[in-house]
Amino acid sequence: MKRLWTKEDDDLIRNNVKHNTVDEIAILLNRTGVATRVHMSKLGIKCQKRKRKYPINEHYFDNLNSNSAYIIGHAMADGCVRETNDGKFQLTYCISAKDVEILEFIRNEIGSTLPIGEYRINEAMLRMNSKIIFNSLSNYGIIPRKSGKESLKNISKEYFYDYLRGMSDGDGTVVFTKRKGGGYEYCWKIYCSNEKYLHELRDFEGSNIGYIRQMKTLNSFYCWDVKKIEDILYIKDKLYSKNNFCLQRKKDKFDMIENYYNIRTEIKQNNDIKYNGCKFGYWTVIKKDDKLYKNQNHKGYVCKCVCGSIKIIPASNLIYGKSKSCGCMKKVRC
């Protein structure tokens, strides 16, 4: 049976509204917060604004900059906005726990101390409630149930690559693996269920690199696929030109592709490779090794490990990641 509101209830609300929040009044009435809020609205009584347990800069997305564009791009990839049944406006991120550095960056940028929790096994979650942020993000195409309806809105050319870096760190992948038959496979991809949106990104970028194709295993998904190594390095230069925040493990893959391309090019041209100071894993190149270098099939370098040991490492082992340290890091991991 529906519980009716009484005059005593109305009086209790009026007597406590100045010093209590809606949730606190609801407890006094033994009712839900939603029901209390609706009844107070009918009575014309304004609710006292609920005090935040954790601070948030609700106007963070009002002005676009490099960092906010990155967060918006990542929200398009891995964020979710929704209005809950009890009238809250939520932005939620759920990502792999190994990429928790992204959530820490977002939390620091919005000036908050919100806790980063666990969602499922090996997944981290950051959730914030704010109607102002909810409305601000809608201006950039981030809306409830956005899958299949993604769009590129209000992102200027100046901050496009920051936005794209956020997308890449969320729904992108960088591949650099050894083929079974020899050689290496490399590519950069961004996945999305909206083919039109991927064309929007590619057309807005303007260089017409790569192509948009439908996934073979997941027919409802598409990807922007860039396979040509020169095009991958072009994207890398654009994404990381400002030295702003990024997911380090994906940047490391880009660096591996660039090292492979540079050294392969020099070897093909039979030129000396000038990589003094370059880092490969835990090795730092000191100079080329003259003795090993005379053999055209096995060019090598004198390298110094982080522990201080110095060894001569063949170029191919550096390029392909076969040698990352003198062995000291294996002992540390054990």
What would the pLDDT profile of 230-251 be if each residue is shown by its tens digit?
999 999 999 998 889 999 999 9
* Whole-angstrom Cα Rg for the chain: 27
Specify the CATH number for the domain of residue 70. 3.10.28.10
pLDDT band at 33, cuts 50/70/90?
A: confident
Residue 223 within a domain = no
Q: Average pLDDT of 242-265?
A: 87
Q: Average pLDDT of 138-151?
A: 91
The pLDDT assigned to 333 comes to: 43
Residue 2 within a domain = no
Strand partners, 184: 178
Tens digit of pLDDT for each residue in 274-299? 567 777 778 888 887 766 544 555 67
Residue 139 within a domain = yes
Residues 87, 37: one domain? no
What is the rounded CA–CA span in Å between residue 191 and residue 49?
40
Is residue 47 scored above 80 in pLDDT? no
Residue 22 within a domain = yes
The angle subtended at Cα 79 by Cα 73 and Cα 82, nearest 5°, is 130
Q: Are strands 279-280 and 222-226 parallel, antiparallel or unpaired?
A: unpaired
pLDDT band at 330, cuts 50/70/90?
A: low
The parent domain of residue 317 ranges over 272-333
The pLDDT assigned to 74 comes to: 95
Q: Average pLDDT of 46-72?
A: 85
What is the rounded CA–CA span in Å between residue 228 and residue 71?
28
Residue 242 within a domain = no
Structural domain total, the chain: 3
The pLDDT assigned to 320 comes to: 67
Residues 93, 17: one domain? no
pLDDT band at 48, cuts 50/70/90?
A: low
Greater pLDDT, 61 or 20: 61
The pLDDT assigned to 331 comes to: 54
Element housing 311 (H / E): strand 310-314
Alpha helices in 62-193 (DSSP H): 66-78, 100-109, 131-138, 160-171
Residues 144, 66: one domain? yes
Residues 64, 150: one domain? yes
Tens digit of pLDDT for each residue in 157-197? 999 999 999 999 999 999 988 777 667 889 999 999 999 99
Lowest mean pLDDT among 110-114, 149-153, 212-216, 316-320: 316-320
Residues 116, 70: one domain? yes
Residue 278 within a domain = yes
End-to-end CA distance of the chain: 65
Greater pLDDT, 212 or 273: 212
Residue 204 within a domain = no
The per-residue pLDDT of the chain, averaged, comes to 85
